[in-house]
Structure 1
Amino acid sequence: MPREIQKAYKNQTRSVDGKPGKKYWQNSVDYKINVKVFPETRIVEGSEIVNFINNSPDELSEIVIRLYYDVFKKGNKRDSRVNPKDIGEGVELKTIIVDGVNYDLANSDKIKRYGTNLTIRLREPLKSGQDLKIEFEWQQKVTLTLDRTGAKDDTSFFVGYWYPQVSVYDDIFGWDRLDYTLDTEFYNNLSNFDVNITVPDNFLVWATGTLENGEKVLPNNIYKKFLKAKESKEVIEVVNEKDLEGLKLKHNTWNFTAKEVTDFAFAMSDHYLWHAASVNVAGKDVLINSAFPKGKAEKHKKLTSIQQKVMKHFSEDVPGIPYPYPVFSTFIGLRYSGSGMEFPMMANNGGSGVPVTVHELFHMYFPMYVRINERRFAWMDEGWADFMENLVIHKFFNEDKSNSFYSRFKLVTQGTLGTIGDLPTVTSSQYTGDSYGYQAYSLPSLTYALLYQYLGEEKFFKCFNSYVKRWAKKSPTPYDFFNTFENVSGEDLSFFWEPWYFEMGYPDVGIKSFEEGKLIVEKVGYKPIPISIDVVYKNSKKSYSKIIDLSVWKNDNRTYAIPVPNHDQVESIVLNSDFPDFNETDNFFPPLKDSYEEKGVKSSIVGNYYVEDYNIELSIAKENEALVIYSNSWVWLNTILIPKDSVNFNTSDKTGVLKYLEDVSGRDEIELEYPKYNLKLKGIKK
């Protein structure tokens, strides 16, 4: 157990049962901000008054301020390439006033600026229980580089990371001084915001929080529709294409307030449409907003309804925790339809599809409502969002329940399992580098799915909901998560935590033998994994499938016997098509090489295929007597091909199908399709 966690238990800020300790504390911040945005120059000009309350037991001799836009400052570290037009002086600070004293920005004894942090040395230490007033005036630009936030076109901006922000000082790490380098995300204080946003009088604004002066800003006809939407279950076109013609606001300063949130973002445009409706959550109406470019109404007309349905399921079914805020808005501003970025009460998405909508809306629970330190533990929020996205879609949006819920988790982890990049889950997000996507999304979502399978849905959500309620508006560590699940479930889960979260290794099971109706499964790898079996019978359309709980490996068992019904009629058995497995070639009865020979699979299928639409290369190779398809560009695409006949194959996770087309116009081709994910790849042999 890390020293920081031991210290927290000793100081009683955390407790070993997973609850916040008797002496748990966290600081709070109030922001009052006035900001002007000039679209023609992309300049953001602001002033703010910050009230910081020191709830810690410590005297603070300095205050750390985050200036995210300094990532674009000349010479500063960045994890990815940026638009040269963004590189400059970063945030242009004009004034800093602390408790009425004007600080000289050039005085390096009082002001230190490094990376994306600015440290203010206080004249006198801020004692426990005292508050501090800090005033800023600053200027920066809306970035051209970032997709998650920044300029979407000449007059459509999604503005995030835009104001001087007090860093977190907590009981584990003290001041959070980690740089923002465009990769890892955020960890913020619980704050209150009162924000005035001034834009040209033909621009609409959507933002974190509640619009307080709609009547003063919006033209009468639009304001009436806005009021109607706040009470309507039917979607209201608050601003349609006709409303945009000659749009002129009554007033061009919008006021939004938000209480007990972790950040503030806003979006603006002079040519976006606005649809809205409400959904009742725990007796209160929540306003749902959708904003998207004009001319795209047909494409995005279902977005508001999808948000309503998702919020209802989150609040009442899975996980069954009422949405905690009064508003949620989706702004369609990203380039890629499946991508999105979350802020309190807002998402900036690339499309209106169900997966991205579910994923980004769940982020209102993690990391917003439960204040996850994403800078160090991205897996504690992205992993949950990925898991919940798949569970909600499987339960409430997928009419075809024949597909395994677990197969998707195999799909996205199989290619990285057992590689050097397959680091223990608890590895700090600061150090995962090229493996960030796998470590933050794919691997943890798999582990949550395995925990869900082991505990069963009822006990799993009893644990999860207790975890959320204990840590709502607070900041848990990984140990608070582990201990809460053990405390609420009443089980010692160390047999699961240790291999899956703290150790290197991989899951691997294989067929040791199949004799007299007994399938003997051997645990070859270190990490415990459930056993799924799929049996096909001779001369029959009947099949037999079963999932055996991973608890069979609890006591260091190395083999497990599974009775197979009607064993004398068995044609084939496939092991763990639902779950990742390091070496899949020993998961088949009879062996795959026999199936290839029986089906007449041609060796000419082996080779490299170029997929022009995605500019990637697919490779089919023979490994351990099995055909494997993989891509160096798409690491997740690594799967064994199971023959249906000489030219048609299923992927081992049952989500994809491949067809081999020999000698088409002088070259061989393959067609790889994942119907569940609406993905089709056509490759031409090189």
Structure 2
Amino acid sequence: MGQMDKKFVTLVFTVVVSLWAGCAVGAAAQQQDEVVVRAIPAAVGYSPEFDRALQRGWRSETGAPGHSYWQNWTDYEIEARLDPETAKLEGTVQILYAHDAPANLNSVLIHLHQNLHREGSPRSSEQEITGGVTITRLAADGEELSERPMEEGPGWEVDGTLMQVRPTIRLEPGDTLQLDIDWEMALPQRGAGRMGHSNKEVYLIAYWFPKVGVFDDLHGWAAQPYLGNAEFYDDFGNYKVSISVPTGWTVMATGELQNPEEVFSAITLDQLDAAAVSDTLVVIADAASRGAGTVTAEGTDGWLNYRFSAENVRDFVWTTSNVQRWDATSAEVANQIWPDVDTDSD
């Protein structure tokens, strides 16, 4: 390219840049002269249910509990037995329901989530059919109840994943109700994507026991059926749970194990003690120890009973296996919500 060509290109480029800059300045000046009109946000309104809760002091506009806030409470004592060969679970639960809501209740709602796998139950997608939950006994405050339509009087009635229990005496504010329920079910291999078992060697067990529904200040009973694709809405409570599995099977669950010396071998207990003061992984169970049968205690008649306790939680889940590798370690964690732990303000 000749010298003149280079000058011509430079001149054209300079003119273009100048024109672009001039346009930009002009556009900016024009924008400054324009008055920007913005939409006025609409007033935030409350639903009639929420407004009622505000007026009665159950809730507040800030989200903090109101001066008359209330919440129901449910305690569970559960005994369960799993036969891994058949995937059958049998259980009994004693439920203590504390009714603090300012309303009278003629019936109590119970969730039977495993009825998702019952023939004829509504569901959002195809699911394995296991038969769901079979209730073999139900008593309210010590009085045996039978299955019958609610309009016929005290008893219990199942509709999909929901069960209504009508005791002889209605619940008034401040009352408690004790429910004793025996049930059994076959565990699905793939339970709505959140539970199941693999080769009947590893079990992940969730939404597995009769559970009291939530009665809240907005809608009363949260009586939506479980269709297989949903989150869960639960009251808080305390759990005492005993789980029986064959010798050689370990159980991990919500809460704290209460009887490690009854279910683990001396070797496993020593390894757990070592892990409690170690900052590196300690092998508790591997393929060799599983195969040798040295992980658990011998049990009674070929069975072990694991006892767990969990306080102030919304649910209880567990896993059990006779092949899982198990490693453990420890870590020091300081947190200001634990008053008995020293925290470093720096």
Q: TM-score, normalised by structure 2?
A: 0.78
Aligned residues: 284
SS state at 2:169 partner: strand
Match of 1:7? Answer: 52
CA distance in 2, matches of 1:87, 1:43: 10
From 119, 122, 137, the equivalent of 1:95 is 137
CA distance in 2, matches of 1:228, 1:107: 57
Match of 1:223? Answer: 269
From 264, 278, 285, the equivalent of 1:232 is 278
Match of 2:21? Answer: none
Q: Structure 2: which 5+ residue stretches go unaligned?
A: 1-45, 340-346
Give a deviation string over 1:322-343, Cα, whole Å, max 9, x none: 699xxxxxxxxxxxxxxxxxxx
Asked if 1:212 is matched to 2:258, the reply is: yes
Q: Write the letter of the residue equivalent to 1:246.
A: A
From 314, 317, 323, the equivalent of 1:265 is 317
From 162, 167, 170, the equivalent of 1:125 is 170
Give a deviation string over 1:218-256, Cα, whole Å, max 9, x none: 000101212332343322212122221232523311011
CA distance in 2, matches of 1:162, 1:261: 16
SS state at 1:64 partner: strand
Note the C-alpha offset of 1:125.
1.4
Match of 2:298? Answer: 250
Give a deviation string over 1:352-388, Cα, whole Å, max 9, x none: xxxxxxxxxxxxxxxxxxxxxxxxxxxxxxxxxxxxx
Contact 1:43-1:139 within 8 A present in 2 as well:
yes
Percent identity among equivalent residues?
28
CA distance in 2, matches of 1:231, 1:100: 48
**Structure 1 residues 87 and 213, CA gap change in structure 2 (3 angstroms):** closer
Contact 1:216-1:250 within 8 A present in 2 as well:
no
Larger Rg, first or second structure (1 or 2): 2
Match of 1:149? Answer: 195
Contact 1:281-1:323 within 8 A present in 2 as well:
no
Contact 1:191-1:259 within 8 A present in 2 as well:
yes
Match of 1:595? Answer: none
Correspondence list, 1:43-442, <5 A: 43-83=88-128, 86-88=129-131, 90-106=132-148, 108=150, 109=152, 110-146=155-191, 147-247=193-293, 248-251=296-299, 252-282=304-334
CA distance in 2, matches of 1:27, 1:113: 23
CA distance in 2, matches of 1:132, 1:69: 24
**Structure 1 residues 46 and 210, CA gap change in structure 2 (3 angstroms):** same
**Structure 1 residues 323 and 80, CA gap change in structure 2 (3 angstroms):** farther
Note the C-alpha offset of 1:193.
0.5
CA distance in 2, matches of 1:55, 1:156: 40
Asked if 1:42 is matched to 2:101, the reply is: no
Return structure 1 stretches of 4+ with deviation > 4 angstroms: 321-324
Q: Structure 1: which 5+ residue stretches go unaligned?
A: 284-320, 325-686
SS state at 1:125 partner: coil
Contact 2:195-2:204 within 8 A present in 1 as well:
yes
Give a deviation string over 1:378-422, Cα, whole Å, max 9, x none: xxxxxxxxxxxxxxxxxxxxxxxxxxxxxxxxxxxxxxxxxxxxx
**Structure 1 residues 273 and 60, CA gap change in structure 2 (3 angstroms):** same
CA distance in 1, matches of 2:105, 2:333: 41
CA distance in 2, matches of 1:227, 1:257: 20
CA distance in 1, matches of 2:221, 2:108: 8
SS state at 2:311 partner: strand
SS state at 2:180 partner: strand
Note the C-alpha offset of 1:152.
2.3
Note the C-alpha offset of 1:36.
0.2
CA distance in 2, matches of 1:145, 1:81: 11
Greater fraction helix: 1
Correspondence list, 1:604-683, <5 A: none
Note the C-alpha offset of 1:106.
4.1
CA distance in 1, matches of 2:178, 2:143: 10
Q: TM-score, normalised by structure 1?
A: 0.40
**Structure 1 residues 257 and 178, CA gap change in structure 2 (3 angstroms):** same
**Structure 1 residues 7 and 107, CA gap change in structure 2 (3 angstroms):** closer
Contact 1:208-1:258 within 8 A present in 2 as well:
yes
Higher relative contact order (CA 8 A, sep 6+): 2
CA distance in 2, matches of 1:156, 1:21: 46
Contact 1:95-1:105 within 8 A present in 2 as well:
no
Q: Write the letter of the residue equivalent to 1:169.
A: F
Contact 2:130-2:186 within 8 A present in 1 as well:
no
CA distance in 1, matches of 2:68, 2:229: 33
**Structure 1 residues 233 and 3, CA gap change in structure 2 (3 angstroms):** farther
**Structure 1 residues 275 and 323, CA gap change in structure 2 (3 angstroms):** farther
CA distance in 1, matches of 2:329, 2:173: 45
Note the C-alpha offset of 1:157.
0.6
CA distance in 2, matches of 1:57, 1:278: 46
